[in-house]
């Protein structure tokens, strides 16, 4: 009964008894046969990826790095927002009437 250590999640002894009866088959195959089929076949694997048309990568301008990136983030987050005097800047503020 050393196979029970391999599958602690499987509590039934049916595959173990089948394994004793048919030792030429691996235990995982017997569990697969007893437990049932997998939903869908492996023949259809990768169908969607193969159907999508291949699009070439586009040339993009390089992202700024270091100090320039910090400056870009600051201007985008704080200077570009129209905030009333005395009001805080909220990163992901919901429009009024939306929140709960």
Task: Answer whether residue 18 is part of any domain.
Answer: yes
Task: Answer whether residue 98 is part of any domain.
Answer: no
Q: What is the pLDDT of residues 40-65, one digit of tens each?
A: 778 888 999 999 999 999 999 999 99
Task: Answer whether residue 25 is part of any domain.
Answer: yes
Total structural domains in the chain? 1
Task: Answer whether residue 28 is part of any domain.
Answer: yes
Identify the domain containing residue 29 by its residue range.
2-38
Task: Answer whether residue 16 is part of any domain.
Answer: yes
Task: Answer whether residue 88 is part of any domain.
Answer: no
Give the C-alpha distances (Å, rounded to integers) separating 84 from 57, 87, 93: 42, 6, 14
- The C-alpha atoms of residue 61 and residue 11 are separated, in whole angstroms, by 58
Q: Per-residue confidence at 7, pLDDT binned at 50, 70, 90?
A: very low
């Amino acid at each position: 009964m050393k196979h029970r250590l391999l599958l602690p999640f499987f509590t039934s002894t049916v595959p173990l008894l089948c394994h004793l009866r048919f030792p030429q088959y691996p235990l995982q195959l017997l569990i697969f046969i007893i437990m049932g089929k997998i939903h869908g076949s492996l023949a259809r694997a990768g169908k969607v990826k193969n159907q999508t048309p291949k699009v070439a990568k586009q040339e993009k301008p390089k992202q700024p790095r270091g100090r320039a990136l910090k400056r870009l983030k600051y201007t985008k987050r704080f200077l570009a927002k129209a905030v009333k005097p005395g009001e805080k800047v909220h990163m992901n503020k919901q429009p009024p009437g939306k929140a709960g």
